[in-house]
Chain A
Amino acid sequence: MEDLTSPKQEQENQEPGEAGRPWEEIAASSQDPESGLSEPLEPEQWPETGPQPRSSPAQSPQSRASTPLADLTGPETSSPLSPHQEASFTPTLALARQEHSEKTTNVSPKAGTPRSPLSSDKGESTGPPTCQSEGNAFQQSQQTKHHLYGPEDVSDNNSKQRELRFNIFQEEDSNSNCDVGHAGPGVSEAAPSLLEIAIQSAKAYLQKTSSKSGLNLYDHLSDMLTKVLDERPENAVDIIESISQDVKMAHFRKKLDTLQNENEMLPIYEIAEKQKALFLQGNLEGADQELEDEIADNSLPNVMESAFYFEQAGVGLGTDETYRIFLALKQLTDTHPIQRCRFWGKILGLEMNYFVAEVEFREGEDEEDLEDEDVTQERDDGDSEAEENDEDELPRTFYKTPQAIPKEESRTGANKYVYFVCNEPGGPWVKLPSVTPAQIVTARKIKKFFTGRLETPIVSYPPFPGNESNYLRAQIARISAGTHVSPLGFYQFGEEEGEEEEEVEGRRDSFEENPDFEGIPVIDLVESLSNWVHHVQHILSQGRCNWFNPIQKSEEEEEEEGEEKEEEKGEEPDYMEQEVGPPLLTPISEDLEIQNIPPWTARLSSNLIPQYAIAVLRSNLWPGAYAFSNGKKFENVYIGWGHKYSPDNYTPPALPPVYQEYPSGAEITEMDDPSVEEEQAFEASREAAALPVEEMEDTEEDEDEEDDDD
């Protein structure tokens, strides 16, 4: 066998060393008989690698030729291999590093060879022109080889294995033209099996470049093995880790990545910077100012104290967050003319949350925004004028938009307080617009999550008049009206104001703190819900706290003021019955039940030490609303999504009734056309009328009229 193969191979095996190179040993394995065949394609490279391989010209062909038989004749082939290796290695030491660049081309020619055993009958002359020059010799060898090994099973096996390997290398080889040409047919002929794909993907994975070091495992492993084979250490397996480390350390790479990671943490610094301002506030002000503040500006609530009590109740935002809110409120009261301030609560949103502060401006210092009212009035005026002018033309629409119910004045009803919100303590406080009845009415019909951005439009079925800031304000009004409670007796009706209001509007009550309030034992507060009263006005289904008669307004002149109407309304025949809600300071024991669920749950904060426990009230109607009282003090807070509880699912409101068509009556139906007989009769009667006057029949009269109309 060797006799036959060696001369032929020697023709083209100018580069026996090639096979002996470490790379070949590793990747190509010793079973590759045709590895030598690849060499014809490499004359160009030859000069570089040429000199050394010559050292073992005789052995290498042997090894190559005999390796296919390795399976059959193992012991024999093993002997030629090892000397060959040793011979070839020494010269290639210097080349170890270059290996990579060469690999691409060196290995590539082998790609062509796998076909030979399988399909050498075709002659394989289909190779690209660049390879054609070597083609003759190449083909010869292939054919001879085929004859030699073809019949044998071994060669088939080998060829298959080589196919696999070839595919693996194919990626690398794509640089060289020849190779691509050869590769093409090779691939198509061998049906790609799952195994091949798996191997390919595994190799691709190995070649993934690490983002940190810029290396890939494939190169690293080959470098390591090169090093092992170069140095031939004893017990290589034991020191493989340190070899790996050495190889890695041998790579010195400049750090090219100039991007900095610091940007990632930016929001933390931003918020810290903002909140730093909160903490610095106190320091910036001089001692004089502090004194002034204490005297003049007593509006800041003691957030920490109430937070302490709420913590006893198991409600609260955590100590540090509460303190930040406290500071944020201080910032708010310092920058606005605020008489009274409260931490209302927190409303959770999808992207951001709202911290809500409830404030009351000092007398006369709150800004009014009358724009909305002006707009509505203008609209009304426009409508009425238009109606008056165009009486003779085609009928215009009868439909008038339902009377817009004006919003309540600031400082009254649902607009008694002004609300500021911010997304995080330290952020800017934004004043919410005052609420309109329409917004409250619509807000009752919809259920939407807050997003955390005030400008978000609210898309809902009854179209919501406004954006999220209005919806937020409406929900705040509803929650306040429902859940702000105080122990009985803490507030009393103000005498003077109360009288006035009874005269003026009847329903509006104001209250003041009862100086003689002596406190209620905590146990009583828990035992009986009638010891808690609402101190925020109930919102009528109209959307206002104080009744406004919409029917009258539509008939009266628009400039008329609410007070006068209120007095006159009794005279109107069609006045709507005044809606009445529970009056101010009504005990919560009279609240409506939600389908057998009591609206409030009261309990003691601690059963272990009842003497120092506080009463905790939880609203079941507005989950998240809590109130505490230790007998003398009380506070309300809301922390939640801002939605009302209902045991049933939310149901969108029913569609408005379809407007009925005009009933078919005398004005719609017409008579039949006059018949010939009738017209003739009419003619006759007219002639008769032309004559001396006669009596006329009823029917003719009708026809007469009709004709006149025509």
Chain B
Amino acid sequence: MDAESLLLSLELASGSGQGLSPDRRASLLTSLTLVKRDYRYDRVLFWGRILGLVADYYIAQGLSEDQLAPRKTLYSFSWASSLKRRGGGRKPGNQDHGDVVGSLNCMEWSLLPPATEEMVVQTSVVKGRFMGDPSHEYEHTELQKTNEGDKVFEEEVVVQIKEETRLVSVIDQIDKAVAVIPRGALFKTPFGPIHVNRTFEGLSLSEAKKLSSYFHFREPVGLRNKTLLEKADLDPSLDFMDSLEHDIPKGSWSIQAERGNALVVLRSLLWPGLTFFHAPRTKNCGYIYVGTGEKNTDLPFML
């Protein structure tokens, strides 16, 4: 959700029960403005919150002029008071700032490194909840085969994975899988970059209830595989992203019209915690993720 209209968006997304406490809201409003200035972003999105066991990660994303360009992800997190007292807390990032841990709440932002394929593979072995400490290291024992002469030995190798790496890869996965934008909110300029469509007036009511009018907020993947016939009706300046309707498995979205059609809410079932909201016929739309950062692999059983 846009950092500038954070309050309205939060109100709209509140149907899933996940919100922000007043002090978090206020601090986000302040700090995201500063983030936008310092990092020179065109737009700053408040991406959401990943719930950790001792602390939560607050994630924001900075967008450049080209909306589909690789996004910069920032995070901030709050130490639980218990941890703070034990003095076990290390400050996130490298910024050397006073030692008031409390001020870190949604105020100090650290840049996350870009996600790579390697990271995703590496962190896929980690299960369970986030701890809330980016320097926490998960230990994972792997059996590695080593050849010595003719014999093959199996060695147990302990791989250490930093939570920060896992955070990067999870955010990247969620972004690629379920970041949503309504059709027409972005448009492709003739020169290639993708801009916010200023003439977007929201989806009509009938469109808003269809999955086909929502797109994945990412570079298209499946578009090239479409047949000519399917492409025939597409508007190249608007339909340049993948639509949600072909997501696998079918039914990985729950689409609801709440408040008597005044609000359409999409909830991802694959990544429970991601809520997308759109008020038909208005520009208000956005998504927020509040959850544990775990993929729901049980989806086929649950439908």
B80, A268: Cβ atoms closer than 8 Å: no
- Per a CB cutoff under 8 Å, which of B129, B262, B298 touches A620? B129
Q: A314-B19, A641-B272 are in contact. Are A607 and B81 (CB under 8 A)?
A: yes
Question: B146 in the interface, Cβ–Cβ < 8 Å?
Answer: no
Binds B, one of A413-421, A570-578, A593-601: A593-601
A267, B257: Cβ atoms closer than 8 Å: yes
* Beta-carbon contacts under 8 Å, A119-162 to B: none
- Chain A residues near B152 (CB-CB < 8 A): none
- Per a CB cutoff under 8 Å, which of A265, A318, A350, A601 touches B205? A265
B260, A272: Cβ atoms closer than 8 Å: yes
- Per a CB cutoff under 8 Å, which of B18, B24, B302 touches A448? B302
Binds B, one of A4-12, A15-23, A647-655: A647-655
Question: B23 in the interface, Cβ–Cβ < 8 Å?
Answer: yes
Question: B22 in the interface, Cβ–Cβ < 8 Å?
Answer: yes
B81, A603: Cβ atoms closer than 8 Å: yes
- Chain B residues near A645 (CB-CB < 8 A): 292
- Chain A residues near B81 (CB-CB < 8 A): 526, 603-604, 607, 610
A608, B127: Cβ atoms closer than 8 Å: no
Q: Mark A589-629, 1 if CB is under 8 A from B, else 0.
A: 00000011110011111111110000000101001100000
B102, A639: Cβ atoms closer than 8 Å: no
A267, B261: Cβ atoms closer than 8 Å: yes
- Chain A residues near B205 (CB-CB < 8 A): 264-265
Q: How far is the CA of A518 from the CA of B102 in the complex (A)?
A: 30
B261, A318: Cβ atoms closer than 8 Å: no
* Beta-carbon contacts under 8 Å, B102-154 to A: 102, 105, 127-129
B53, A601: Cβ atoms closer than 8 Å: yes
Q: Chain A nearest CB: distance from B213 CB in Å?
A: 15
Q: Mark B195-239, 1 if CB is under 8 A from A, else 0.
A: 000000000011000000000000000000000000000000000
* Beta-carbon contacts under 8 Å, B1-21 to A: 11, 14-21
- Per a CB cutoff under 8 Å, which of B101, B127, B259, B291 touches A271? B259
B128, A608: Cβ atoms closer than 8 Å: no
B21, A313: Cβ atoms closer than 8 Å: yes
- Per a CB cutoff under 8 Å, which of B16, B82, B261, B303 touches A268? B261
- Chain A residues near B22 (CB-CB < 8 A): 311-312
Q: How far is the CA of A312 from the CA of B291 in the complex (A)?
A: 18
- Chain A residues near B128 (CB-CB < 8 A): 595-597, 647
Question: B256 in the interface, Cβ–Cβ < 8 Å?
Answer: yes
B15, A317: Cβ atoms closer than 8 Å: yes
A311, B206: Cβ atoms closer than 8 Å: no
**A349 nearest CB neighbor, chain B only:** B254
- Chain A residues near B257 (CB-CB < 8 A): 267
**A597 nearest CB neighbor, chain B only:** B129
Q: Chain A nearest CB: distance from B8 CB in Å?
A: 11
- Per a CB cutoff under 8 Å, which of A352, A446, A607 touches B256? A352
- Chain A residues near B61 (CB-CB < 8 A): none
B14, A314: Cβ atoms closer than 8 Å: no
Question: A568 in the interface, Cβ–Cβ < 8 Å?
Answer: no
Q: Chain A nearest CB: distance from B44 CB in Å?
A: 20
A264, B206: Cβ atoms closer than 8 Å: yes
- Chain B residues near A314 (CB-CB < 8 A): 18-21, 24
Question: B78 in the interface, Cβ–Cβ < 8 Å?
Answer: yes
B262, A268: Cβ atoms closer than 8 Å: yes
Q: How far is the CA of A272 from the CA of B298 in the complex (A)?
A: 37
Q: How far is the CA of A620 from the CA of B128 in the complex (A)?
A: 11
Question: A482 in the interface, Cβ–Cβ < 8 Å?
Answer: no
Question: B297 in the interface, Cβ–Cβ < 8 Å?
Answer: yes
B19, A270: Cβ atoms closer than 8 Å: no
Q: How far is the CA of A231 from the CA of B262 in the complex (A)?
A: 52
Question: A315 in the interface, Cβ–Cβ < 8 Å?
Answer: yes
Q: A265-B205, A601-B53 are in contact. Are A606 and B17 (CB under 8 A)?
A: no
A620, B16: Cβ atoms closer than 8 Å: no
Q: A264-B205, A603-B82, A607-B78 are in contact. Are A351 and B256 (CB under 8 A)?
A: yes
Q: Chain A nearest CB: distance from B162 CB in Å?
A: 18
Question: B301 in the interface, Cβ–Cβ < 8 Å?
Answer: yes
Question: B59 in the interface, Cβ–Cβ < 8 Å?
Answer: no
**A319 nearest CB neighbor, chain B only:** B11
B19, A315: Cβ atoms closer than 8 Å: yes
Question: B269 in the interface, Cβ–Cβ < 8 Å?
Answer: yes
A318, B256: Cβ atoms closer than 8 Å: no
A316, B16: Cβ atoms closer than 8 Å: no
Question: A527 in the interface, Cβ–Cβ < 8 Å?
Answer: yes
A318, B301: Cβ atoms closer than 8 Å: no
Q: How far is the CA of A675 from the CA of B169 in the complex (A)?
A: 82
Q: Chain B nearest CB: distance from A121 CB in Å?
A: 39
B127, A648: Cβ atoms closer than 8 Å: yes
Question: A80 in the interface, Cβ–Cβ < 8 Å?
Answer: no
Q: How far is the CA of A267 from the CA of B280 in the complex (A)?
A: 13
B256, A447: Cβ atoms closer than 8 Å: no
Instruction: Give the most central of B20, B54, B127, B302: most A CB within 10 Å.
Output: B302
* Beta-carbon contacts under 8 Å, A236-278 to B: 264-265, 267-272
- Per a CB cutoff under 8 Å, which of A318, A353, A606, A650 touches B14? A318
B23, A639: Cβ atoms closer than 8 Å: no
**B232 nearest CB neighbor, chain A only:** A201
Instruction: Give the most central of B51, B128, B258: most A CB within 10 Å.
Output: B128
A268, B260: Cβ atoms closer than 8 Å: yes
Question: A432 in the interface, Cβ–Cβ < 8 Å?
Answer: no
Question: A517 in the interface, Cβ–Cβ < 8 Å?
Answer: no
Instruction: Give the most central of A270, A610, A623, A643: most B CB within 10 Å.
Output: A623
B17, A624: Cβ atoms closer than 8 Å: yes
- Per a CB cutoff under 8 Å, which of A319, A526, A640, A649 touches B17? A640
A447, B302: Cβ atoms closer than 8 Å: yes
Question: A704 in the interface, Cβ–Cβ < 8 Å?
Answer: no
Question: B91 in the interface, Cβ–Cβ < 8 Å?
Answer: no
Q: How far is the CA of A424 from the CA of B262 in the complex (A)?
A: 14
Q: Chain A nearest CB: distance from B244 CB in Å?
A: 15
- Per a CB cutoff under 8 Å, which of A446, A449, A620 touches B53? A620
Q: How far is the CA of A313 from the CA of B23 in the complex (A)?
A: 10
Q: A350-B254, A650-B301 are in contact. Are A271 and B260 (CB under 8 A)?
A: yes
Question: B267 in the interface, Cβ–Cβ < 8 Å?
Answer: yes
**A649 nearest CB neighbor, chain B only:** B297
* Beta-carbon contacts under 8 Å, B263-303 to A: 267, 269, 272, 291-292, 294, 297-298, 301-303
B129, A316: Cβ atoms closer than 8 Å: no
A315, B18: Cβ atoms closer than 8 Å: yes
Q: How far is the CA of A272 from the CA of B262 in the complex (A)?
A: 11
- Chain A residues near B294 (CB-CB < 8 A): 647
Question: A348 in the interface, Cβ–Cβ < 8 Å?
Answer: yes
- Per a CB cutoff under 8 Å, which of B14, B254, B261 touches A265? B261
A652, B15: Cβ atoms closer than 8 Å: no
Question: A346 in the interface, Cβ–Cβ < 8 Å?
Answer: yes
Q: Mark B57-90, 1 if CB is under 8 A from A, else 0.
A: 0000000000000000000001111101000000
8 residue pairs, one from A and one from B, having the closest CB atoms = A639-B17, A271-B260, A318-B14, A650-B298, A607-B102, A268-B260, A314-B21, A647-B128
> Could you list some 19 contacts between A and B, CB below 8 A?
A268-B259, A312-B21, A312-B22, A314-B18, A317-B14, A317-B17, A348-B267, A353-B15, A447-B298, A449-B254, A526-B82, A596-B128, A601-B53, A601-B80, A606-B23, A607-B78, A607-B101, A647-B127, A649-B297
* B-binding residues in A (CB < 8 A): 264-265, 267-272, 311-319, 321, 346, 348-353, 424, 446-449, 526-527, 595-598, 601-610, 618, 620, 623-624, 639-641, 643, 645, 647-650, 652
* A-binding residues in B (CB < 8 A): 11, 14-24, 51, 53-54, 78-82, 84, 101-102, 105, 127-129, 205-206, 251, 254, 256-262, 267, 269, 272, 291-292, 294, 297-298, 301-303
Task: Please give 6 more A-B residue pairs, beta carbons under 8 A apart, in addition to A348-B254, A602-B80.
Answer: A267-B257, A270-B260, A314-B20, A315-B18, A448-B303, A606-B23
